[in-house]
Structure 1
Amino acid sequence: MRLSLALVALLTLFGERAGAQTAVVTSAAPDAVAVTIYRAPSRAADAAMDLDWLEGYALITETRTVDVPAGEATIRFEGVAGGMLPETALVTGLPQGVREKNLDADLLSARSLFDRNWGRPVILRRHKGRDGKGTQTEERAVIRSSADGAAIVQTRDGIEVADCGRRLTDQIVYPELPPGLSARPTLSVRTVSDSARRATVKLSYLAWGFDWQTNYTIRYDPGTGKADMLAWVTLASSDPTSFVDATAAVVGGEVNREGSREDADRPDGELVLQCYLKPQVPRPAGMSLPPPPPMPMAVYAPAAEIIVTAQRRSEKLMDVATVVQEEGLGDLKLYRVPVPTTVASNAQKQVAMHDLHGVKWTVLHTATLDGASDGAATGLLLRTKNAGENGLGFALPGGPVALFEPHGADMLLVGQGGLGNYAIGQDVEVSVGTSPQVRMRVEERAEGDHWKDYEAIVTNANPWPVRFEGTVTQWDGQTLENVSAKLGRRNGRAQWTVTVPANGVARLRYRRRDAP
């Protein structure tokens, strides 16, 4: 017994000394932060972001000032990105480097709050009537399940499923926040120093749950064939952390990343209660349940959701000083926001990229001339060349496009589409929908041995002339004969290009002959 007591005392003393030697230092926020966002690798350049599932990532670089004590210490960096990839974290500036690092990202959410209260007393707040406007009662309960599936609770009446039938709407009120849950993501590192000193530490890491895109607004004047073109860079974040007054930038082009965590199932803080059990599970015969323990003062959270982040919103910065600046980055392009901007949690922000005037565009109505077909609306296509003489001449990152045209004193939306990534000197094409005012049909006129005669008819109901471009389909071995107009070629295919007069018609007759 003496030996045991002595051993216990020795272990206790050793633990106290070990605890005394390991200090904990907390860095609450960075002094400065830079956020560089990369587009989702799997998203097409001309496709819009899915704001409910952002699959891009960001390189985040933080500068912090830390008072490092002598000896061993744990440095806690609070307020890092919740989507941090801890294996990419690089910490420089500590006197003798880093021995160990750990990401504490078990954040407060409806799911984590429910899971961490397993076996703990809560208050079950019940509303009669599904609209929640009936009478309200409260009773003590104990959580007896995880957050997956039904919310099983134990009350004085036995085991039952919360929010399940009986025209009751249940909510769970939690008495306190359980230990281990953090309101802010935290990266902790273990280090050692031979003396106390103040250090400027740089923390860099990748985090997922970000994305960006370019949004284009084109105001086209059919009379001049020119347009005003406004481009926005839209930054989006689904991370729980906001980066205030950050140096922000985005990278255009595709960066190869393999084995990235954004391909895995994303953890979700939402709590969805399922009702797949009977409202009341009968108590087995002879079984008695102790009453739930007394309840301390409660912290309220709804049964199915807890609001922990800011609501998504959009902010537009129109000041010329905020126009992003293009820089080279190897084969990629970096677009830097020249003034500090806040990349807010669960939010999107737009910053001006280009405000151009007099951009030359050609508007084409397009269709494919195949076999006989009924009259159908033609496609609406914008085309130009990315060159200085057309009012362009710089890299164009892909993104959604909205086309407007004047109608009296107003500008009205006439089409939407997507712009791919275009380098300087490339031909630019943007499909922005269909034009019901310009229609095309193909009629079969005659048929013989291995040949058919067709007539393509384009009608224009607009009070102005339009440019039409039709692609004439040719299958393997087929030839075109007796064509009534000269055809050009584009991308190796026969093209019929014609100006259709206002409220007028254009026709093309041709014979398609099959190989014998």
Structure 2
Amino acid sequence: MLLGWAASAPAQTVVSRDVSDASVTIYRAPNRGSGAMDRNWPRGYALISETRTITIPAGENVIRFEGVAEGLLPETAIVTGLPNGVREKNRDARLISPAGLVDAYLKRSVRLKRTNRKTGKVIEQDAIVQAGPNGGVILQTAEGFEALGCSGLPERMLYPEVPADLSARPTLSVLTSSDRPVTATIQLTYMAQGFDWSASYVARMNATTGKLGLFAWLTVANGGVQSFKDARLQVVAGQPRKERNAPPLAPPRSALQLQCWPMDITSTHPKYVFTRLPWPQFEEEVMMESADSIVVTAQRRGRVAYAMAPPPPPPPPPAPVAMVAQQEDLGDLKLYRVPERVTVSAQGQKQVAMIDQSDAAFDRIYSVNAGMGQPDYRAMPFLLRGKNSKEKGLGLPLPAGAVAIFETVEEHELLVGNADLSDLAVDERVELPIGQSADVQWRLIKVSETKKRQDWRVDLTNARPVPVKAEILVPYDLIERSPDIERGRGGWVLPVTVPENGTASITYVVRLERGR
């Protein structure tokens, strides 16, 4: 409903449904990092630009742009190309759906079509919708009050018409005027919530060369009910400054959840059923796809199918690809452009190849924090470490995402581990924690202690047929640091090499606080 629009003559309504060109630029959910996307309602946002051609009569006009994104933020909408610009705009959020129709007909009369329990005949009777759609639908008939769908026999409601304020698709309405009839090609640009994207990496370890093949899929998600066909698709990596706006709109409920009070007597059911659930146990999803659920008995009636998007599949293994997203600079951010037009499907996800680096150099490093040691041997954590440089086989920005690491064993690829990758710039260090190795173990022994110092020793064993590199992180102040000891994240890093099928030890001295 448009508020505050007044004119000397009633405004004429112009409906725009066709989009000749669309561009979708998706930004990641703020502060999500490398975590998984929300499948039900993605928490990122998109900048959408559409080109439409409309014919406007002379005078005041209400232009209804149907098929905009469900999470459209009306305050961000910009319309260019109209003769006299835009005076007001409104986001029409109420959509045609089983739940939407019930909500629109609250306290109004409908026809109830049902099967008589005694005779088996199909009858129709008048009913008034007294409550709904959340928690069930309560109807008032000549026999009294009852819940829809609880008779055990087929029931459906017949509506005389579709309310004028319900739209088949998400709609943006604008008020404009023109001194003459005109056909205009306009540009509609707006931001919308309910989108997101992430990078999904597949890494393959080569046990012979020690190199790593790194392949990344770009996964985009559209949580709304509107598709964008043959769109130009881009995603932006990094964290652009964005002021906080209204919380993301939850997708409107389209299906009814019909609930009934249990039958029989109270002693038939456990006590907790009645104390915890006022509408227990009985639920039925009513979809507009079914003619037995809801029917609109007017010229505008029709069927609309609503289906939940399936969970996203795991990243497929890399294969020869003909289309790879192209990286561009967007200020200090990175933009990845899909070179071909694609369809961003409603409530769906799409994957496009993003990065393909087949020969990156990584070192296998065994690393532990000595601050969490114990005198008994335990398995030692290990990781893959490299540098994001061209000399090491990478040298390109790496967006945050999850990494699945595989290794070929007897011609079969086996999952070695999973790691999270944060946003990395060129020449930054790359670390992929994998897990713990039972072949390489360590223990921490306190050798001696005085008022000013503690002497410690770390023992390591290696059951592998090759030497391994290990690092001991000491989060304390050290005495007599050797030149090969470096300051790392959270403490001093002591390097040590353990020979194949051998052992090694390293000692260090911790300075104690004065007066202890």
Residues 43 and 248 in structure 2, CA contact (< 8 A), matched pair in contact too: no
Kindly report which structure 2 residues correspond to 1:39-50, keeping only aligned pairs within 5 A, or say none.
39-44=28-33, 46-50=34-38
Stretches of structure 1 lacking an aligned partner (at least 5 in a row): 1-14, 129-134, 281-297
- Structure 1 residue aligned with 2:19: 30
Distance 1:86 1:228 in 2: 45
The aligned runs of 1:236-315 (5 Å cut-off) are 236-261=221-246, 263-264=247-248, 266-269=250-253, 273=257, 299-301=291-293, 308-309=306-307, 311-312=309-310
The partner residue of 1:508 within 502, 506, 509 is: 506
5 Å-filtered alignment, 1:322-337, equals 322-337=323-338
Amino acid at match of 1:497: P
1:147 aligns with 2:133: yes
| Aligned equivalents of 1:438, 1:108: Cα separation in 2 | 62
Going from structure 1 to structure 2, the CA distance change for 1:118 and 1:279 (only over 3 Å counts) comes to farther
Q: How many residues align?
A: 465
Question: What is the CA–CA distance in structure 2 between the aligned matches of 1:136 and 1:491, rounded to whole Å?
Answer: 78
Aligned to 2:497: 499
Alignment-derived partner of residue 8 in structure 1? none
Q: Determine the C-alpha separation between the residues in 1 that align with 2:218 and 2:440.
A: 34
Maintained 8 Å contact 2:71/2:249: no
How big is the shift at 1:159? 2.3
CA contact under 8 A between 1:484 and 1:510: conserved in structure 2? Answer: no
Equivalence for 2:193 = 208
- Provide the rounded CA distance (Å) in 1 between the counterparts of 2:501 and 2:121: 69
Of 85, 94, 106, the match for 2:82: 94
Aligned to 1:438: 440
2:25–2:46 CA contact under 8 A, matched in 1 = yes
1:75 aligns with 2:59: no
Equivalent residue number for residue 217 of structure 2 = 232
1:366 and 2:367 equivalent? Answer: yes
One-letter amino acid matched to 2:338: V
Q: 1:319 to 1:104 in 2, by over 3 A?
A: farther
Distance in 2, Cα, partners of 1:138 & 1:80: 41
For 2:323 and 2:433, how far apart are their aligned partners in 1? 30
Deviation (angstroms), 1:153: 3.0
- Kept in 2, the 8 Å contact 1:318–1:352? The answer is no
Contact 1:160–1:279, Cα closer than 8 Å, also in 2? no
Residue of structure 1 aligned with 2:46, choices 55, 58, 62? 58
| Contact 2:254–2:306 (CA under 8 A) maintained in structure 1 | no
Q: What residue is the counterpart of 2:431 in the other structure? A: 429
SS in 1 for 2:397: coil
Which amino acid in structure 1 is aligned with residue 69 of structure 2?
A
Shift of 1:75: 2.0
Contact 2:16 2:66 survives alignment (8 Å) = yes
Contact between 1:100 and 1:190, CA under 8 Å: does it hold in 2? Answer: yes
Amino acid at match of 2:87: R
Structure 1 residue corresponding to 2:457, chosen from 450, 455, 458: 455
- 1:479 aligned to 2:478? yes
Q: What is residue 186 of structure 1 aligned with on the other side?
A: 171
Could you tell me how far apart the structure 2 residues matched to 1:279 and 1:108 are? 33
2:396 maps to which residue?
A: 394
Aligned in 2, Cα 1:255/1:17: closer, same or farther, shift over 3 Å? closer
1: distance between equivalents of 2:45 and 2:342? 18
Q: Which of 8, 11, 18 in structure 1 is aligned with 2:9?
A: 18
Query: Could you say what secondary structure the match of 1:113 adopts?
Result: helix
Aligned AA (1:196): P
Residue 96 of structure 1 aligns to a residue in which SS? coil
How far off its partner does 1:486 sit?
5.9
Tell me the TM-score normalised to structure 1 length. Answer: 0.80
Partners of 1:89 and 1:228 lie apart in 2 by 43
Is contact 2:201-2:401 (8 Å) kept?
Answer: yes
Match of 2:409 in 1: 407
TM-superposed CA distance for 1:345, in Å, is 0.6
What displacement does 1:203 show? 0.4
Instruction: State the one-letter code of the partner of 1:352.
Output: A
Deviation track 1:95-121 (CA, whole Å, cap 9, x = no partner) reads 222222222221134432331232333
Counterpart residue identity of residue 253, structure 1: G
Post-superposition shift, 1:93? 0.7
How far apart are residue 242 of structure 1 and its match?
0.2
Deviations 1:300-330 (A, max 9, x none): 448xxx9525634669896744211111111
Change in Cα spacing, 1:67 to 1:310, as seen in structure 2 (3 Å) is: farther
- AA aligned to 1:30 is V
Distance 1:464 1:121, change over 3 A: farther
CA offset at residue 28 of structure 1?
1.4
Amino acid at match of 2:37: M
For the aligned residue pairs, the C-alpha RMSD in angstroms reads 3.5
Give the letter aligned to residue 335 of structure 2. L
Q: Which residue of 2 aligns with 1:175?
A: 158
3-state SS, counterpart of residue 100 of structure 2: helix
Residue 248 of structure 1: how far off its partner (Å): 0.3
Identity %: 40
Q: Is the 8 A contact 1:161 1:278 kept in 2?
A: no
- Distance in 2 (alpha carbons) for counterparts of 1:479 and 1:499: 20
Match of 1:87, as an amino acid? E
Partners of 1:273 and 1:438 in 2: CA distance:
56
Per the alignment, in what secondary structure is the counterpart of residue 75 of structure 2?
helix
Tell me the CA shift for residue 270 of structure 1: 5.6
Cα distance in 1, alignment partners of residues 104 and 71 from structure 2 = 21
Q: Tell me if the contact between 1:454 and 1:511 (Cα under 8 Å) persists in the aligned partners.
A: yes
Helix, strand or coil at the partner of 1:370: helix
- 1:113 is aligned to 101
Task: Report how far residue 222 of structure 1 moved.
Answer: 2.8
Contact kept in structure 1, 2:7 and 2:60, CA below 8 Å: no
Native 8 Å contact 1:402 1:417 kept in 2: yes
Conservation of the 8 A alpha-carbon contact between 2:235 and 2:335: yes
Question: 438-447 vs 225-234, which deviates more?
Answer: 438-447
The answer to whether the 8 A contact 2:100-2:254 is kept is no
Q: Which amino acid aligns with 1:392?
A: L
Structure 2 distance, partners of 1:324, 1:32, is: 20
Unaligned segments of structure 2, at least 5 residues: 1-5, 265-289, 295-303
Offset of 1:346 from its aligned partner? 0.6
Cα distance change, pair 458–452 in 1 and its aligned pair in 2 (3 A): same
Alpha-carbon offset, residue 73 of structure 1: 2.3
Q: Distance in 2 between matches of 1:17 and 1:446?
A: 95
> Following TM superposition, by how much is the alpha carbon of 1:451 offset from its aligned partner in structure 2, in angstroms?
4.2
Q: SS of 1:416's equivalent?
A: strand
- After TM superposition, give the deviation of residue 157 of structure 1 in Å: 4.6
Match of residue 283 from structure 1: none
